[in-house]
Chain A
């Protein structure tokens, strides 16, 4: 593999590990938070309740998943 290919591969690998790594559920949850924020941008009260709740639930689910993991 040439030098540029190696750099691109290690760059991609860094972002994969950083964004997804061993917690893909958190990445999916954050995408969901962004989508819901955009959908609810004209419904402020719903957004103010739903967005923090989604973040809390995603954290607890991820911790629970780690606890259950062997």
Chain B
């Protein structure tokens, strides 16, 4: 496997993990502030451990026991479904047809929900079950898509460790940034990252479906770069067209003025 596909793999996994971990960290921060950090961090750590175990249980047998071409077709199909749905969502958000993901609103809603649940554990020496469960679910549910991306990209290129490492690096980076800026996660350009990752997942998906089926792409895995260019251009054109269509027509006085 050449440097091109390895670089795109790293970027795709790192970007996807960043987007999902921003969402997870918002929930963990809300649980920590509302109910106490100890249980929230324990819940988050438990979520990370369960996700890592899933990567090992699912990823390692895939690499060793499934024929590589069949694996690439199935993985390519999964990546295409995931990539296209991320791209679709990002296009609708970028063109204003769907509201942007609002981390502040998620934070407020999670805090409100937890504040209604009785005395916070932080006020006592006991652990807080609600904070643990909310933080665990936040990390586990948001991390599931990252696990799918790590397992599929990592196993199809026999680079499971590298893919998992990129996801862990993104999680650590987001946690550090989150710790430094506390509740300012809404400043992360989540939709732009999602759009970029959607383009990369779609490109990888198409490449692997073709490779696994026996199609010879021109330029071997340099074709991935070509796909990224095509899908990025189409996405930007779609966003620009939808924005233009959404803009109200000028009135006669505006035209005259």
- Listed in ascending order, the chain A residues whose CB lies under 8 Å from chain B are 14, 18-19, 21, 23, 26-27, 29-31, 33-34, 37-38, 40-42, 44, 47-48, 51-52, 55-56, 58-60, 62-63, 66-67
Top 4 closest A-B pairs, CB basis?
A: A41-B214, A37-B213, A47-B215, A30-B80
Please state if A63 and B216 are interface contacts (CB–CB under 8 Å). Answer: no
Known: A30-B77, A60-B238, A62-B84. A48 touches B206 (CB 8 A): no
Secondary structure dominating the interface of A: helix
A33 touches which of B92, B209, B214, B235 (Cβ 8 Å): B209
Q: List 27 A-B contacts (CB under 8 A).
A: A23-B84, A23-B85, A23-B88, A26-B84, A26-B88, A30-B80, A33-B206, A34-B73, A37-B212, A38-B73, A38-B213, A41-B214, A48-B215, A48-B217, A55-B80, A55-B202, A55-B206, A56-B234, A59-B91, A59-B202, A59-B235, A59-B238, A62-B84, A63-B238, A63-B242, A66-B88, A66-B98
B interface SS class: helix
Interface centre among A34, A58, A63 (most CB of B within 10 A): A63
B210 within 8 A of A: yes
Given the known inter-chain contacts A19-B81, A66-B92, please indicate yes or no for A59 contacting B217, CB distance below 8 A: no
Contact A55 B231 (CB under 8 A): yes
CB-CB under 8 A from A33, the residues of chain B are 77, 80, 206, 209
Alpha-carbon separation in the docked complex, A40 to B213 (Å): 9
- The residues of B that contact A26 with a CB separation of less than 8 Å are 81, 84-85, 88
Residues of chain B lying within 8 A (CB to CB) of residue A41: 213-215
How distant is A24 from chain B, measured CB to nearest CB, in Å?
A: 11
Number of interface residues of B (CB under 8 A): 35
Residues on the A chain within 8 Å of B117, using CB: none
Q: Would A29 and B92 count as touching, CB distance under 8 A?
A: no
CB distance from B96 to the nearest CB of A (A): 11
Across the interface, which residues of B come within 8 angstroms of A62, CB to CB? 84, 88
Q: State whether B218 touches A48 (Cβ < 8 A).
A: yes
Report whether B215 and A59 are in contact in the complex, using a CB–CB cutoff of 8 Å.
Answer: no
- A59-B84, A59-B87, A59-B234 known; A66 vs B213 contact (CB < 8 Å): no
Minimal beta-carbon separation of B155 from chain A (angstroms): 17
Interface centre among A37, A44, A47 (most CB of B within 10 A): A37
CB distance from A22 to the nearest CB of B (A): 9
Asked whether, in the complex, the Cβ of B227 is within 8 Å of the Cβ of A67, the reply is: no
